[in-house]
Structure 1
Amino acid sequence: MTDARATALVVEDDATTRTLLAGLLESIDCDVDLATDGEEALVQLRTREYDIVLLDIVLPKMSGIDVMESLRRDHPRILGCIIVVTGLDIREIRTLFPAVHETLSKPVIPNRLRQAVRSCLRR
């Protein structure tokens, strides 16, 4: 990584969680964009390159699973930048999408998220 700020996309429909995740990313010097549903996320992912994507699974309009399926087909490299943040069974997500960088359970432990982001940025 260069001296430029890392770019991150937070895809989360819950406003409180979205604000928390964005704040954690900003605290480690990331430039953060937000999406509230899967369709909005795909539009942003197709128009800007991100170093990190925090992706919820249960989203309106298009689920996080559908977002990852679309990315696996059209932009598989992006999967390695994804950190899934979900209340669902994270083992199942890892089985379905082994290329994602990390899966974290909600509620997110801030230090665990920071570690996952730093690890992803080192790749």
Structure 2
Amino acid sequence: MVTQPSNAKTNKILIADDNAANRELLEAFLANIDCEIELAIDGQDTLDKVRSFQPDLVLLDVMMPKLSGFEVCQQMKQDPQTARVMVLMVTALNELGDIERGVKAGTDDFLSKPINKVKLLKRVENMLRLKDRTDELERLRQYIRDMDDQSKP
């Protein structure tokens, strides 16, 4: 059986928050993770950087100018180019309606403010692991399709 080799890569995380102190705190918490980090300052900047930076995970504040985190998440999940990017909504909003709105928008998980470093690191670790497995599965599916196409007369 022929298998496609796994491509080792450095994970990319986009931190999206309009509050500079929050961005700095999240970046400091993630300092010991082997990953590339990019920052976004509002909803539109987040969408632009998702397309250019191509992160594996977005830590997404809900309450941002230009576009809310809900709107950003929904647009990301509706776009085939960004639909598989993991989204961790980081929010002070804890009402059931806010959680339902995030789920409807397509978020993969939530983390409440104030941020607990241990919870953040564990969620990030799990989400990056899931993203890596999903990407590997997609590479294998494509490999199988390619092999199948080559075997057809």
Kept in 2, the 8 Å contact 1:94–1:100? The answer is: no
**SS in structure 2 of the partner of residue 22 of structure 1:** helix
Unaligned runs of 5+ in 1: none
Percent of aligned positions with the same letter in both sequences? 32
Kept in 2, the 8 Å contact 1:35–1:41? The answer is: yes
**Considering only aligned residues, what root-mean-square deviation do their CA atoms show, in Å?**
1.9
Query: Which shifted more, 5-14 or 88-97?
Result: 88-97
Distance in 1, matches of 2:8 and 2:97, equals 36
Distance in 1, matches of 2:44 and 2:112, equals 23
**SS in structure 1 of the partner of residue 93 of structure 2:** coil
Distance in 2, matches of 1:108 and 1:48, equals 25
Is the alpha carbon distance of 1:27 and 1:37 closer, same or farther for their aligned partners in structure 2, counting shifts above 3 Å?
same
1:8 counterpart letter in structure 2: I
Distance in 1, matches of 2:38 and 2:90, equals 16
Kept in 2, the 8 Å contact 1:25–1:114? The answer is: yes
Name the structure 2 match of 1:105: 112
Does 1 or 2 have the higher relative contact order (CA < 8 Å, sep 6+)?
Answer: 1
State the TM-score, normalizing by the size of structure 1.
0.87
Name the structure 2 match of 1:32: 37
Q: Confirm whether residue 116 of structure 1 aligns to residue 120 of structure 2.
A: no
Q: Confirm whether residue 21 of structure 1 aligns to residue 26 of structure 2.
A: yes
Displacement of 1:18 in angstroms is 0.5
Displacement of 1:59 in angstroms is 0.3
Is the alpha carbon distance of 1:29 and 1:93 closer, same or farther for their aligned partners in structure 2, counting shifts above 3 Å?
farther
User: In the TM superposition, what are the counterparts of 1:1-123 in structure 2 within 5 Å?
Assistant: 3-74=8-79, 75-78=82-85, 81-89=86-94, 91-98=96-103, 99-123=106-130
Unaligned runs of 5+ in 2: 1-5, 131-153
Kept in 2, the 8 Å contact 1:90–1:104? The answer is: no
**SS in structure 1 of the partner of residue 30 of structure 2:** helix
Displacement of 1:47 in angstroms is 1.6
Query: Which shifted more, 45-54 or 12-21?
Result: 45-54
State the TM-score, normalizing by the size of structure 2.
0.71
Q: Which has the larger radius of gyration?
A: 2
Where do 4+ consecutive residues of structure 1 move more than 3 Å? 1-4, 90-94
